[in-house]
Structure 1
Amino acid sequence: MAKKDKKTKPQKPENGLQTDLAQITAAGRVIAEHPSNFITPAKMRALFEDAESGDITAQHELFADIEERDSDIGANMGTRKRALLTLDWRVTPPRNATPAEEQLAEAAFELIDGLTQFEDLVIDLMDAVGHGFAALEIEWAFSDGRYYPTAFTHRPQSWFRWSKDDELMLKSQDNQDGEPLWPLGWIVHSHKSRSVQQARNGLFRTLAWLYMFKHYAVHDFAEFLELYGMPIRIGKYGAGATEAEKRTLLRAVAEIGHNAAGIMPEGMEIELHQAASGTTATSNPFLQMADWCEKSAARLILGQTLTSGADGKSSTNALGKVHNEVRRDLLVSDAKQVAQTITQQIILPYLQVNHPNTDPNRLPKFEFDTREAEDIAVMAEAIPKLVDVGVQIPESWVRDKLVIPEPAEGERVLARVVPDNPVNQAALAALSARIPAGRPATREQQVLDGALDEALEMPDFNAQLNPIIKQAVAALAACESYEEADAALTALYPQLDNQTLRGYMQNALFLSDLLGQANAKH
């Protein structure tokens, strides 16, 4: 990619686009040569060697042809590119951020959130997976005292060349070595798939060979289908046949194959031999070769073949659900590499242009959310049990595992609506049902009801029940049948600490007895 002087901070973007000024071709228009036409091993090796010398035009034109002409490779590359669009993203401030750094993070978030073509930007950057790099030209605008990018235009890889120092240069008719890329004018995403020279990076360097092998197999299979079932025709001519007679015989042999008719001089003959029958629908070396190439390409691009090359034998629906369309380690790697480019080549220039004092080492970071949420049902069942036995679990850890964000200040949150003290309410309903309908309550009954209401509403009443309930619940949780539960509670009862509750109930019963006796005298 283009080199930048780390000591010099960019001041402002250039006016216009570099590609509008550079003469990439004499006619001002790039016309691809389509090197995939009549591709041969020697031709492919030659254009690969040219790429390693810096001239990458033919190599990347071949790569573009492969993605366009091979439906299987094109579909798998599309799946790999679009996988990132299924992820959420965020912009996070640096650790222990100051208020000023928090404001920069907010500005960076507004920048990315305001990009109307963010999805197109991600797909264009992911073009580097196959080619090794992707170059997007930035168009800037100035409004309300700020510079901001308005467009990111993908430029074909064939418009560039690599210098001896692996610096990406824009091709130009006026400069054989190419022109350096303008600072602030480009995003160059280099997607690292292997540790090699830049020209040899990218999956298409391997896919090109699979494409060629498959191309030959399919071409041979087409020729085989054209002749399949047709007998082999052999013409015989005499020792003294002239050249004209030989040509006549050859034409007759060809016409018999296509027209089922032909003429030839007397004394010549044509023999028909049965066509070979070794190739069948179940044993076809051409299709087997093509199938092998497609599965190898899917494994290279997606990391597995279960969802892309299912054959009904080695793959099942259950296995297909276990594996994602793109293997997870590849998805996470793609997300981190693209996020790093967005942070360093979009957010950093934007902040440095509009906030000159931005520290490159304290940048807000763009991140894709690659976390996998744990099973909420399992966690909801396990966490309360762990808490009950005394395990201290931070709330932040639970939120991270379940991918539940922190609620913003004033934000409405979900809450379970539970009636206040349902057991106490049921007890009150049972007591109320004992009072005859229409009969006025006596003064003593009113005192008793008031005392009961006050007792049931007191928080310490439930607090007295909590230790007993916890002990009983813990014992029941370890049981698997009603018999075990009955035995566990019977064994636990003598050990329950209910002295406080028993004293409270004795006092309540004593008060009830006194009030009852007083009421009976009347």
Structure 2
Amino acid sequence: MAKRNIPKKPNLLEIAVAQVQDKFSSYPSNGLTPQRLAQIFREADAGDVLRQMELFEEMEEKDPHLFSQLQTRKNAVTGLDFEIIPFSDDARDKEIAEFVRQEIEALEDIEDVFMDLLDAIGKGIAFSEIIWDYEDGRVSIADIKRRHQKKFFWDNNDVLKVRTAQFPQGIELPENKFIIHRYKARSGHPSRAGVLRVVAWMYLFKNYDLKDWVSFCEVFGMPLRLGKYNPSASEEDKRALMQALIQIGTDAAGIIPEGTEIDFKESNKATSINVYESLARYCDEQISKAVLGQTLTSDSGGGSYAQSKTHNEVRHDLTVADCKALAATLRRDLVRPLVYFNYGESHRIPYIRFDSEEAGDLTAAADIYAKLIRDIGLKIPTSHLYKKFSIPKPEAGEEVAAPPSPSAPLPLKADPSLLVAHKANDDKLGTQENVDRLVDAAIRQSGRMFADIFAPVLKLLDKTDNLEELKAKLSDEEFVSELYGQMDNAALDDLLQKSLFYADLLGRVKENERSV
């Protein structure tokens, strides 16, 4: 007997509850030196990432340039629309996808959830805890809460654990409870894969540079105050002279003991003014390259339009990669358990897709597809086109948008000769030869069309010489109905539509002849 696929119930408890101490930090960036930075990295390599994560958090807070670059990288994803795509066109798969879509869209702060998970771009890994709800036999998502990276660590066996209030020594992560988003700026352990690990050294050097730059600006342009005292001066006289030098620098006034002297040496530091700015700008450029993959769209400076466009495309490649990585994480850690709890593990999981295609890319792609189909005759599955342009496939009986061309198919349906002309050179559709065939057939048919529609009117014209009387009769609907009494309304409408089509086609031919 086959074993029933009964979905399990989720863990409804909140595991990594946010604690008051989570907001406190040891501020490892205070007095940061190359030796201390290396020590923090060694601790992270051993599995304890607490100080590294606190340092990364401070780096974003202290460096406006680094903060803006990371925000730009994250907002490039959170600002995009997303959709839930069924695993297949099967009705059951569509039902599952619709359920997942409703659950995710019911979260009011879903963009904040995405932003929290994208924190992995800088730190290498990000965690969010799923708060499940169970009611009336249905599992739903009550909330998704961010968990700070410093609550997690890897033990000596490289097993990922989380510290909780009940178990400060750490426990293994429960199944189907956490969304764990990993970002790999480079290959290696997640603790070493974040972008901030790469730019930490540039941050350190920039900090040294800014500290010296501020000190330089404080005394720039001020003359050197040199005090002179007699060899016989006492220690008290020396201290008084030093205090006078300090007061002159801050208060532009001071007193000195008798017998002492102060000289002013003019500053001549013009050649070193730009050294600090150049180093700070260099560090910013390296940070931009690491975060965005380029510099021209993030830093002021020269660069042609073509260079900027190329650099922006590199940045777009990163956005596409971020979208795919985030979508894969959400499908694995959020969508899969949601489907499992409600439908069982045998059902196929829908996909999440972010609309990361640029408008210019889609326009160029549409032109290419049109040429491939129209000029080359390449056969392309419509399913591929729906997926390429993120267009949902219409359901059976669903109203669809279409170009207004009601009269175009009429001649092919009503006139076999046009259909033959169309089929005769099907492999040359769109060529001048086939167009000429269609025009010739239209001209042959137009005479019969116009004769059929105007024959009753011409008979009346033969019987009357008063055109005004004829005009009045043709304005009478009852008279016209009797005039075409042998023809029902459907046949008359069909005849009128065909005549208008042929008239339009003949007009286009005449217009082309005049233009030539």
- TM norm structure 2: 0.75
Q: CA deviation at 1:288?
A: 1.0
Does 1:11 find its partner at 2:8?
A: yes
Does 1:411 find its partner at 2:398?
A: yes
- 1:114 corresponds in structure 2 to 106
Question: SS at the partner of 1:182?
Answer: coil
Does 1:90 find its partner at 2:76?
A: no
- 2:131 corresponds in structure 1 to 139
- 2:322 corresponds in structure 1 to 334
- 1:271 corresponds in structure 2 to 263
Amino acid at match of 2:222: M
Q: CA deviation at 1:467?
A: 8.1
Distance 1:498 1:13 in 2: 70
Does 1:306 find its partner at 2:296?
A: yes
Q: Is the 8 A contact 1:35 1:61 kept in 2?
A: yes
1:238-249 correspondence to structure 2 within 5 Å: 238-249=230-241
Distance 1:504 1:285 in 2: 85
Q: Is the 8 A contact 1:170 1:181 kept in 2?
A: yes
Label 1:101 to 1:461 Cα distance change in 2 as closer, same or farther (>3 A).
closer
1:199-238 correspondence to structure 2 within 5 Å: 199-238=191-230
Map Cα deviations across residues 128-166 of structure 1 (whole Å, 9 max, x no partner). 111111111221212221122211111211222221233
Label 1:10 to 1:278 Cα distance change in 2 as closer, same or farther (>3 A).
farther
Q: CA deviation at 1:206?
A: 2.0
Question: SS at the partner of 1:18?
Answer: coil
Amino acid at match of 2:300: A
Q: CA deviation at 1:93?
A: 3.6
Distance 1:261 1:403 in 2: 74
Question: SS at the partner of 1:134?
Answer: strand
- 1:420 corresponds in structure 2 to 407
Label 1:52 to 1:243 Cα distance change in 2 as closer, same or farther (>3 A).
same
- 2:338 corresponds in structure 1 to 350
- 1:4 corresponds in structure 2 to none
Q: CA deviation at 1:48?
A: 1.8
- 1:36 corresponds in structure 2 to 29
Label 1:99 to 1:207 Cα distance change in 2 as closer, same or farther (>3 A).
same
Q: CA deviation at 1:232?
A: 0.8
Distance 2:112 2:338 in 1: 19
Distance 1:214 1:14 in 2: 47
- 2:354 corresponds in structure 1 to 368
Q: Is the 8 A contact 1:91 1:364 kept in 2?
A: yes
Label 1:325 to 1:9 Cα distance change in 2 as closer, same or farther (>3 A).
farther
Q: Is the 8 A contact 1:130 1:204 kept in 2?
A: yes
Map Cα deviations across residues 443-472 of structure 1 (whole Å, 9 max, x no partner). xxxxxxxxxxxx999423544665899989
Alignment partner for residue 474 of structure 1, among 407, 412, 431?
A: 431
- 1:125 corresponds in structure 2 to 117
Structure 2 unaligned blocks of 5 or more: 463-516
Question: SS at the partner of 1:112?
Answer: helix
Question: SS at the partner of 1:187?
Answer: strand
Q: CA deviation at 1:67?
A: 0.9
Distance 1:35 1:456 in 2: 79
Distance 1:504 1:155 in 2: 76
Q: CA deviation at 1:120?
A: 1.2
Question: SS at the partner of 1:130?
Answer: helix
Does 1:68 find its partner at 2:61?
A: yes
- TM norm structure 1: 0.74
Alignment partner for residue 248 of structure 2, among 240, 243, 256?
A: 256
Distance 1:200 1:386 in 2: 48
Label 1:320 to 1:65 Cα distance change in 2 as closer, same or farther (>3 A).
same
Distance 1:497 1:169 in 2: 75
Alignment partner for residue 53 of structure 1, among 32, 43, 46?
A: 46
Structure 1 unaligned blocks of 5 or more: 1-7, 425-454, 478-491
Q: CA deviation at 1:262?
A: 2.2
1:386-397 correspondence to structure 2 within 5 Å: 387=374, 390-397=377-384
Map Cα deviations across residues 384-427 of structure 1 (whole Å, 9 max, x no partner). 685366444444444445444422333332222246379x9xxx
Amino acid at match of 1:420: S
Question: SS at the partner of 2:284?
Answer: helix
Q: Is the 8 A contact 2:15 2:164 kept in 1?
A: no
Q: Is the 8 A contact 1:162 1:199 kept in 2?
A: no
Question: SS at the partner of 1:367?
Answer: strand
Distance 1:157 1:297 in 2: 22
Q: Is the 8 A contact 1:17 1:185 kept in 2?
A: no
Amino acid at match of 1:134: A
Q: Is the 8 A contact 1:10 1:184 kept in 2?
A: no
Does 1:187 find its partner at 2:179?
A: yes
Q: Is the 8 A contact 2:26 2:54 kept in 1?
A: yes
Please tell me the root mean square deviation across aligned C-alpha atoms, in Å: 4.3
Q: Is the 8 A contact 1:465 1:501 kept in 2?
A: no
Q: CA deviation at 1:382?
A: 7.4
Q: CA deviation at 1:55?
A: 2.2
Distance 2:429 2:102 in 1: 54
- 2:512 corresponds in structure 1 to none
Q: CA deviation at 1:284?
A: 0.7
- 1:433 corresponds in structure 2 to none
Q: Is the 8 A contact 1:136 1:154 kept in 2?
A: yes
1:279-298 correspondence to structure 2 within 5 Å: 279=271, 284-298=274-288
Distance 1:265 1:82 in 2: 64
Q: Bigger CA drift: 343-352 or 377-386?
A: 377-386
Map Cα deviations across residues 344-400 of structure 1 (whole Å, 9 max, x no partner). 111121222223x3138x432323244456554784597368536644444444444
Distance 1:33 1:249 in 2: 42
Distance 2:423 2:165 in 1: 86
Amino acid at match of 1:301: V
Label 1:195 to 1:402 Cα distance change in 2 as closer, same or farther (>3 A).
closer
Q: Is the 8 A contact 2:82 2:352 kept in 1?
A: yes
